[in-house]
Amino acid sequence: MRRNLPIIAIDGPSGAGKSTLGRMIARALGLLYIDTGAMYRAIALAVLRSRAKFTDTAAIAELARRARIELSGDPSSLRVMLDGEDVSDEIHSEQVSHVASLISAIPEVRREMVKQQRELGARGGVLVGRDIGTVVFPDADVKFFLTATPEERAQRRYEEDRARAQDLTFDDVLREINIRDERDSTRADSPLRIADDAVVIDTTELSIDEVFERMMKVIREKRAAGESQSAP
């Protein structure tokens, strides 16, 4: 399928700023925003509701195949629909986050999610996740890998959780960040890694606006280079 709009891939570990910056870039460029982490959270919610055992990977994979996940709305107010129900708020609970981390390591679930993500982004958009530039869209027009120290990422996530009135300590969040990093980096299927042609940005000492400007500069330069190559 020929597309007229670019695909921008933003990968990185939890708390690196992917979602916030993905929304900002999608809004600035008028592109579809696809939060792949929200898709895994929706499947995690379906698993919790079904009471399937976490060891029953076949049942979980079947739930992923049957689930209808839709993303809609402005990037800054993305709504996540699971089988026609708006679950945008419910998928951000600590329990759902934990289960999402577990099921995202199941190869059958990842393959189903990759299939759906490719369908959603086939005509262009900004996709954020952990394997967008390496697996989902290895031919993305622009690839970024955002990172930061575990402590900085944990502080950001801790502040987000406090805003949602979740009762977690900083040490709890840091521990979960480190566990998630290990799980994401060592899983056999679609591990978290930096694409060879990705632009890496360490966001530890940078403000959101500073990172946004760096990313937009890269996008503008890539677009200009592409236009010059296609010119007769």
Give the residue ranges of the annotated binding site.
12-20
Q: Which two tokens stand for residue 121?
A: 């982004």
- Annotated binding-site positions for ATP: 12-20
d(CA 23, CA 17): 10
Chain CA centroid to CA 155, Å? 19
DSSP codes of every residue in 69-121: EEEES-GGG-EEEETTEE-TTGGGSHHHHHHHHHHTT-HHHHHHHHHHHHHHH
DSSP codes of every residue in 113-179: HHHHHHHHHTT-EEEEESSIIIII-TT-SEEEEEE--HHHHHHHHHHHHHHTT----HHHHHHHHHH
Given a contact cutoff of 8 angstroms between Cβ atoms, the answer to whether 144 and 202 are in contact is no
Chain CA centroid to CA 96, Å? 15
Query: Distances in Å between the alpha carbon of 80 and those of 53, 152, 181?
Result: 24, 28, 25
